[in-house]
Amino acid sequence: MINALLEPLFRKLEIRDILSSEERQILSDAASSPVSFRAGADLVAEGDRPERSTLVVAGFTTRYRQLADGRRQITGIHMAGDFVDLPSLLLKVMDHSVGALSDCSVVTFPHAALREVTERQPHLARLLWLTTLLDAGILREWVLGMGRLTAPQQLAHFICETYVRLQVAGLAPDRTFSLPLTQTALGDALGLSSVHINRTLQDLRSEGLFTWEGNRIRIIDWERLQRRANFDPLYLHLHAEPR
Amino acid sequence: MINALLEPLFRKLEIRDILSSEERQILSDAASSPVSFRAGADLVAEGDRPERSTLVVAGFTTRYRQLADGRRQITGIHMAGDFVDLPSLLLKVMDHSVGALSDCSVVTFPHAALREVTERQPHLARLLWLTTLLDAGILREWVLGMGRLTAPQQLAHFICETYVRLQVAGLAPDRTFSLPLTQTALGDALGLSSVHINRTLQDLRSEGLFTWEGNRIRIIDWERLQRRANFDPLYLHLHAEPR
DNA sequence: CGAACCATTGATTCGCGTCAAACCCGGTGG
DNA sequence: CCACCGGGTTTGACGCGAATCAATGGTTCG
């Protein structure tokens, strides 16, 4: 039986290519039973040598690096369907930590099984490679934002990006989605202080672009939000292609 | 005969793993003859669908995105031994441009041949994947710098990183190397203005960390430079491992 | 009921951008 | 041979975006 927990991953891949039922089966067979983490817990730490790679099936996680003085920088947000530490399959040693942003649930894949995939399932291997390339594309977009955009643009862009990624995973019906990020965490992601995030958020809300109550974001004016952010989803590579 | 132009790539890979002579041969056979570009020329542009992937064999290139108002952000610097657009093998459409920072020389590999590698040479395919993961690691480090470090730290860190990468490629003997970057380009990479780059550079030089005359950088005090930058090369994954 | 965490607000400071001009240099053409 | 030009570097003056510091409320939870 195909593992229903992998649906968001399958959706993510099928938007970019065709996934055979055999390939789904292989992934399902390799997946562990789900494991839960509480918000704030670390799934993997810098310096670790994971022997399994972790796929988020519910909730949110983040890649981050901590500085000596306690400040941190987030370098990625991951949601259902995202691998959080697939790079460690080849990099071996984690060069950053991964923590749970919310209570979340994951399944893991033994590196041995994934390596087997690279040996015997070239197409599936390319799709795994693809997921790491999509992450890198997002990272380039973050660099652009951090280097050249103002806080409001960056923030609006982040909302656009997250909204689209959640749609792909099937988690943002009705232009509404849950995003369990504190303003401090948002600042850690965008390279801004929580105070400034707070004020910027108020500005954007007062422009009528979206609402954000508790964990719930509702997009009010998607067209205008995209324009505000200069958002172009090209870098998310949402088209199906033979990969 | 093994193609000598690929030496920097081989060095880069052999620092991280073992490369068989058959694998070298496969790469050599797939490589085109060298092609030259003048400084400022674009090798690939955003929106392109490359059918070949490009490896730098001499000189420097950069990934970048241009904003509507003319400002640009650089998201990567590439040197001999680096693939500049390997991601397009799977992403298909370029989501950024690649330009020549200096006069440079490249060889290209048909995507058909690289795909063949993914089908028949799983280990070599993993090494190609690895190179894209190394790029992503560098990008994460840039995000950390742009989000949380001051201009002097960022700049010092950039020098450290570039120096180590050039050493790997065999291009930085004697703590000296050529880096044909204008201060404007440096600013585009670090997300700073050229004016601020200029002043920050003066500060670092006056601290006796390095000299920078014309294109030549000479590291004066490597230990102190690393401390100044808080540089830890973990993210460059310089150790050999079975990948 | 207090502890802890998060959102919010005001006051102040500072790193860096912007603007503008001068300078330096190698290349070009009259 | 020299005037000129363009790209890069350097310098100064000024302003703004965002950090920092500090305090207040609101909520959740043990």
Residue B104 three-state SS: strand
Please give the helix or strand (H or E) that residue A238 lies within, else none.
Answer: none
| Lookup: tokens for B42 | 């674009």
pLDDT of residue B3: 84
DSSP class of residue B83 equals: B
**Mind listing the pLDDT tens digit for each residue in A217-236?**
999 999 999 999 999 999 99
Indicate left, alpha or beta for A69 from its phi (over 0: left) and psi (-120 to 50: alpha).
Answer: alpha
Residue A133 three-state SS: helix
Q: Which residues contact A31 (CB under 8 A, 6 or more apart)?
A: A3, A5, A6, A55, A107, A108, A109
The residue of chain B with its CA nearest to that of A112 is B243
Paired sense of beta strands A216-219 and A210-213, if any: antiparallel
Nucleic acid strand D: bases within 7 A of protein CB = 7-13, 17-22
pLDDT of residue B125: 98
C-alpha A144/C-alpha A141 separation (Å) is 5
C-alpha A11/C-alpha B205 separation (Å) is 52
Residue B154 three-state SS: helix
Q: Are A212 and A176 in contact (CB under 8 A)?
A: no
| Lookup: tokens for B137 | 């690691």
- Reading chain B (243 residues) residue by residue, the pLDDT tens digits are 668 999 999 999 999 999 999 999 999 999 999 999 999 999 999 999 999 999 999 999 999 999 999 999 999 999 999 999 999 999 999 999 999 999 999 999 999 999 999 999 999 999 999 999 999 999 999 999 999 999 999 999 999 999 999 999 989 999 999 999 999 999 999 999 999 999 999 999 999 999 999 899 999 999 999 999 999 999 999 999 999
pLDDT of residue A3: 84
Q: In which band, very low, low, confident or very high, does the pLDDT at A237 lie, cut at 50, 70 and 90?
A: very high
Q: Are A147 and A185 in contact (CB under 8 A)?
A: no
The interface residues of chain A toward chain B in range 54-83, judged by CB-CB distance below 8 A, are 63, 65, 67-68, 71-73, 75-76
- Which residue type does B198 have? N
Task: Give the phi and the psi of residue B212 in degrees, each rounded to 5.
Answer: -145, 100
Residue A197, Cβ neighbours under 10 Å: how many? 23
pLDDT of residue B1: 60
CA proximity to B197, closest of B155, B230, B159: B155
Q: Are B38 and B101 in contact (CB under 8 A)?
A: no
Between CA B157 and C1' C4 the distance (Å) reads: 37
pLDDT of residue B2: 67
| Lookup: tokens for A143 | 């660099």
Quick check: A91 and B133 CB within 8 A?
yes
Nucleotide nearest to B202 (CA to C1'): D10
Residues 62-121 of B with CB under 7 A from strand D: none
CA proximity to B227, closest of B177, B170, B159: B159
pTM of the model: 0.96
pLDDT of residue A1: 59
- CA torsion sign for A226, A102, B143, B241 is negative
Rounded mean pLDDT, A77-91: 97
A217 Cβ nearer than 7 Å to chain C strand: no
Q: Are A157 and A229 in contact (CB under 8 A)?
A: yes
DSSP one-letter string for B110-153: EHHHHHHHHHH-HHHHHHHHHHHHHHHHHHHHHHHHHHH--HHH
Q: What is the mean pLDDT of chain A?
A: 96
C-alpha A158/C-alpha A154 separation (Å) is 6
C-alpha B131/C-alpha B75 separation (Å) is 16
Q: Are B82 and B166 in contact (CB under 8 A)?
A: no
pLDDT of residue A2: 66
DSSP class of residue A83 equals: B
Query: Residue B229 CA to chain centroid, in angstroms?
Result: 19
C-alpha A39/C-alpha A60 separation (Å) is 9
